Amino acid sequence: MLTFFKKRVKKTTIHSDFALSYRELKKREHSLGLHNTHEVRLQTATASKSPRFQPRLLPIVMKSKDKLLQLSGEIVLPHHSILSLKERSGREKFVRTVVYHITALAHMEAQNQLAAGDSHILQNVLPEELEQNTFNLLRNECGWGSMLMKGNEVRSLRINDSPDDERYLVWFAFKHPCPPMEPHPCTVDLLFSPDPSQVDRIRIHLEKVLRQPLNHALIQVYRDGSDNIGEHTDKTLDICKGSSIVNLSLYNPDNTWKEPRIMKLRKKSTDKTKPSVVENVPLTHNSLFVLGWESNRKWLHAINKEGRTIGTKIAYKYERLSITFRHISTYIRMDGRIFGQGGTCKTAEELEEKHGKVTPHSIEEHEQHTRSVGESLKDLKERGGESSVIMMEAEKKGGAGEAVEDTRRMFDAFGKENFSSEFDWDSYYGAGFDVIDKGYSILHANGH
Ligand SMILES: O=C(O)CCC(=O)C(=O)O
Ligand SMILES: [Fe+2]
């Protein structure tokens, strides 16, 4: 437990293993010979009625990368980034929550290990020119549609009756003659792409921060506390083996409610008698949650519904936009044939040898097939039923009966990956699939 002093309140105590007094930080900063380039801020995250508890900043100055590393062990909070700060003033006792914002730590190894140890959260990850206006730009430019997930992991859902699972989203695929596929995989058309330049600039910046290629972005908006995503493991069939999945969080600058949404991480376990191991990660504005490969395998992640209150009012109205960047290694050709990590053909050449080159005819055939599968999907959806069965039926009707067995095998593998912490990638995914999951559907585009 450490103590630091403020001008207006006599004494403030921070209960944390990692907290340092401002003076102490200053002292260290001097002894390390650091200068004014990076900033650490300590600021209140909760709205406070008392003017005494307005957010305040404690700038701390650091320069050299190596030296920053030495200092960072002291200032990066383990796991939670949120501490409870208790203040006593006269007879009154105030309890509030503070969030540490740590600027410019992105280029260094993160000290905060989450889940299986290969996950962490980076704060203030975008520089001002990328962070400013991005929320408004994307919120206004994307033509949003609502999505219902129809993979095995939401087996219990029925088409059209799961408004709770709706999120708004848009897909981007970057920079490849054959676009990378949605990781589950998916054929949703890129119907809603805004001008991708801002997202691409962010992608390039994050590639440098992470030292990892990123070639795919999924943008989602959680319009208020009722938008959520249930516990799941990201399906890794098409995600480059060993790579991390990252979630950038941006909030509507007009939000009156400033509390971040929480990423709930829960360790997969088959032992129901033991309590779950859970880590809650506040997804603060301009933070990047990095989900490592092992963490995705051994833990589930979710953003639950949020019913927190301001006074007696439920704080429903606070919009969060997330961009999930991934490194996808499965690619789709113009004629719908796939190759790469998740396909049966692992390279473009192998695919060409097996099925020939892309031709206007093969493209036309593919479009024809997509149309007829789409139509039968629509019919079948109206009748309701198990989503994966519907998709397989639609494939059959569309004239691709041979794909059904492959689809079944793929869904089975998806289901296993979602719940097993010992998922054997090679035995379930190694051989690859020639089919794609049509289980993600945009229900309606509705402007913004
Ligand atoms: O919105 C987020 O940050 C998380 C989304 C997510 O987990 C996913 O799309 O798989
Ligand atoms: Fe996810």
CATH code, domain carrying 315: 2.60.120.590
Pocket mutation for ligand 1, best pick of 303, 320, 414 (most atoms within 8 Å of C-beta): 303
CA 309/CA 316 separation, integer angstroms: 8
* 163 touches 444 (CB < 8 A): no
Q: At residue 235, does pLDDT exceed 80?
A: yes
Q: Are 50 and 149 in a shared domain?
A: no
The pLDDT score that the predictor gives to residue 167 is 34
Q: Which ligand has the minimum distance to the alpha carbon of residue 184?
A: 1
Does one domain contain both 80 and 194? no
Look at residue 260 in the predicted model and tell me its pLDDT.
87
| pLDDT at residue 395 greater than cutoff 80 | no
> Same domain for 8 and 71?
yes
- The tally of domains found in the chain comes to 2
> Among 83, 106, 129, where does a domain finish?
106
Q: How far does the centroid of ligand 2 lie from the alpha carbon of residue 443, in Å?
A: 20
Q: Hunting for tokens 């920053």 — which residue is that?
A: 68
What pLDDT shows up at residue 219? Answer: 77
Which of 47, 79, 106 is the last residue before a domain boundary? 106
Q: Which ligand is nearest to the CA of 183?
A: 1
Ligand 1, atom 4, lies closest to the CA of 247
CA-169 nearest atom, ligand 1: 9
270-321 pLDDT, tens digit each: 887 877 888 888 899 999 999 999 999 999 999 888 776 556 655 566 788 8
Residues 179 and 92 reside in one and the same domain? no
Q: Is the CB of 301 under 6 A from ligand 1?
A: yes
> 0.90 cut: is pTM over it?
no
Beta carbon of 16 within 6 Å of any ligand 1 atom: no
Per-residue b or e along 8-31, where b marks 16 or more CB atoms closer than 10 Å to that residue's CB: eeeebebebebbbebeebeebbee
- Average pLDDT of the residues of the chain: 64
Our answer on whether the CB atom of 120 is closer than 6 Å to any ligand 1 atom is no
Q: Same domain, yes or no, for 90 and 117?
A: no
> Between β-strands 82-89 and 287-291, what pairing exists: parallel, antiparallel or unpaired?
unpaired
Query: Which has the higher per-residue pLDDT, 396 or 52?
Result: 396
CA of 107 to the centre of ligand 2 (A): 24
pLDDT over 70 (residue 384)? no
In the predicted model, is pLDDT for residue 222 greater than 70? yes
Identify the band that residue 371 occupies on the pLDDT scale cut at 50, 70 and 90.
Answer: confident
Least confident span in 11-15, 259-263, 341-345, 424-428: 11-15
In this structure, which residue's CA is closest to atom 10 in ligand 1?
234
Question: 247: Cβ below 6 Å to ligand 1?
Answer: yes
**Cα 154 to ligand 1 centroid, rounded to whole Å:** 15
pLDDT for the residue numbered 392: 62
- The pLDDT assigned to 386 comes to 52
Ligand nearest to the CA of 248: 1
| Separation of CA 324 and ligand 1 centre (Å) | 6
Q: Which of 93-107, 188-202, 255-269, 315-329 has the highest mean pLDDT?
A: 255-269
Would you say the CB of residue 223 lies under 6 angstroms from ligand 1?
no
Res 237 pLDDT > 80: yes
224 and 293 assigned to the same domain: yes
Tell me the C-alpha distance between 102 and 39, whole Å: 7
Mean per-residue pLDDT, 417-439: 83
Q: What is the pLDDT of residue 397?
A: 57
Query: One-letter amino acid identity for 28?
Result: R
Do 30 and 101 lie in one domain? The reply is yes
CA of 264 to the centre of ligand 1 (A): 11
| Residue 26 CA to ligand 2 centre (angstroms) | 39
Q: What is the mean pLDDT of residues 130-159?
A: 56
User: At residue 403, does pLDDT exceed 60?
Assistant: yes
Cα(286) to ligand 1 centroid in Å equals 15
Residue 109 · residue 155 · CB < 8 Å:
no
Q: Domain ends where: 55, 83, 106?
A: 106
Residue with tokens 């992991």: 153
pLDDT value at residue 190 = 37
Quote the ligand 2 centre to 398 CA distance (angstroms). 31
Alpha carbon distance 428, 410 (integer Å):
8
Distance in Å, CA 388 to ligand 1 centroid: 22
Domain of 351 in residue numbering reads as: 113-448
302 lines ligand 1 (CB under 6 A): no
> Lowest-confidence range among 48-57, 174-183, 402-411?
48-57
Which of 79-93, 106-120, 140-154, 222-236 is the least confident region?
A: 79-93
pLDDT in tens, 162-180: 233 333 334 444 434 455 5
Question: Using only C-alpha atoms, what is the Rg of the chain?
Answer: 24
Ligand 1 touching residue 287 (CB < 6 A): no
- Check if 229 has its Cβ closer than 6 Å to any atom of ligand 1: yes
Same domain, 173 and 255: yes
Please report the atom of ligand 1 found closest to the CA of residue 220.
1
Query: Is 227 or 78 the better-scoring residue by pLDDT?
Result: 227
**What pLDDT, on a 0 to 100 scale, did the predictor assign at position 335?**
82
- Range of lowest pLDDT (244-253, 304-313, 436-445): 436-445
In this prediction the ipTM stands at 0.99
**Nearest 5°: phi and psi at 239?**
-90, 130
Distance CA 22, CA 44 (A): 15
For atom 9 of ligand 1, which residue has the closest CA? 324
If you average pLDDT over residues 235-248, what whole number do you get?
92
The average pLDDT across 245-264 equals 89
**pLDDT at res. 431:** 92
Residues 234 and 274 in one domain: yes
- Shared domain for 37 and 171, answered yes or no, is no
Q: 324 in ligand 1 pocket by Cβ < 6 Å?
A: yes
